[in-house]
């Protein structure tokens, strides 16, 4: 079964600086999707960025980018020019289709604090 | 505007009193799913539905039931809630390229 691990329960960064959140996963599949979701205090789950495993190019969305290392099964999120609104819980997720079931397998989450 | 709605958003109940959390989508997507979120565990899938009348268990289905009688609705039923079902519940709709769009969440407290 696929597993997703976020080894940093909490991170903090100064406003305007850059921070990287780590994520590793375990899978025997060759084609899959990886995601980062943001959960602000409102508890809404918001998609930040998506990466298709067959694409070698790292995905970027404005200030958010990933470092996807397929061989190492690593999928880190880099937030540049951190803003106060980036403060949230961040979840790494893997889309599994094992056994016909479509589901997202989530990591435990990393709570990001932005210091003004 | 694409929407996934859940009701109620907050619920306090007592052990054994049957309850239903509704989920409705206006995106006409076939795939829908329920997750629960607990501290330190992330989100875990409870049940999912590939289409009308097609449902199956996720990772933590015990104590829950679902039905999918029409495409837009996917209610989550707790026949006899217990305190270990106190959690934050999310309904999600499957979009293209593997993305899932989440509802606003339902916070449930079972006393």
Distance of alpha carbon B107 from alpha carbon A29, whole angstroms: 34
Q: A35, B59: Cβ pair inside 8 Å?
A: no
Q: A91, B42: Cβ pair inside 8 Å?
A: yes
Which of B42, B97, B107 is facing A33, going by the closest CB pair? Answer: B97
Flag whether residue A4 sits within 8 Å of chain B, measured between CB atoms.
yes
pLDDT in tens, A85-109: 999 999 999 987 665 667 789 999 9
Instruction: DSSP letter for A50, please.
Output: E
Query: To the nearest whole angstrom, how far is the Cα of A31 from the nearest Cα of chain B?
Result: 11
Helix, strand, coil percentages, rounded to 5, for chain A: 5, 55, 40
Distance of alpha carbon B87 from alpha carbon B60, whole angstroms: 13
pLDDT in tens, A29-51: 888 899 999 999 999 999 999 99
pLDDT in tens, B42-94: 999 999 998 999 999 999 999 999 999 999 999 999 999 999 999 999 999 98
Which of A44, A102, A108 is facing B94, going by the closest CB pair? Answer: A102
Flag whether residue A52 sits within 8 Å of chain B, measured between CB atoms.
yes
Q: Give the pLDDT confidence score for residue B78 in this predicted structure.
A: 98
Which of B42, B48, B99 is facing A103, going by the closest CB pair? Answer: B48
Burial class (CB in 10 A: 0-12, 13-18, 19+), B85: buried
A57: tokens are 């190019």
First to last CA, chain A: 41
pLDDT in tens, B100-110: 899 999 999 99
Q: B99, A4: Cβ pair inside 8 Å?
A: no
Distance of alpha carbon A41 from alpha carbon A94, whole angstroms: 23
Q: Dihedral (C-alpha) A12, A106, B6, B2: value to the nearest 10 degrees?
A: 90
Distance of alpha carbon B38 from alpha carbon A27, whole angstroms: 23
């Amino acid at each position: 079964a696929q597993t997703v691990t976020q080894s940093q329960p909490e991170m903090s960064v100064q406003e305007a600086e850059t921070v990287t959140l780590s994520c590793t996963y375990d899978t025997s599949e060759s084609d899959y999707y990886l995601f980062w979701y943001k959960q602000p205090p409102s508890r809404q789950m918001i998609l930040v960025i998506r990466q298709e495993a067959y694409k070698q190019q790292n995905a970027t969305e404005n200030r958010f980018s990933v470092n996807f290392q397929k061989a190492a099964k690593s999928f880190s999120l880099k937030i540049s020019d951190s803003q106060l609104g980036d403060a949230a819980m961040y979840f790494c997720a893997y889309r599994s289709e094992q056994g016909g079931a479509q589901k997202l397998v989530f990591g435990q989450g990393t709570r990001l604090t932005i210091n003004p | 505007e694409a929407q996934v709605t859940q009701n109620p958003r907050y619920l306090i109940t007592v052990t054994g009193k049957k309850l239903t959390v509704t989920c409705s989508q206006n995106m006409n997507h076939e795939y829908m799913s329920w997750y629960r979120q607990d501290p330190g565990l992330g989100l875990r899938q409870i049940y999912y539905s590939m289409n009308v009348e097609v449902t199956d268990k996720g990772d933590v289905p015990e104590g829950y039931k679902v039905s999918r009688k029409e495409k837009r609705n996917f209610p989550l039923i707790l026949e006899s809630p217990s305190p270990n079902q106190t959690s934050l519940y999310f309904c999600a709709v499957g979009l293209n390229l593997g993305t899932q769009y989440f509802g606003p969440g339902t916070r449930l407290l079972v006393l």
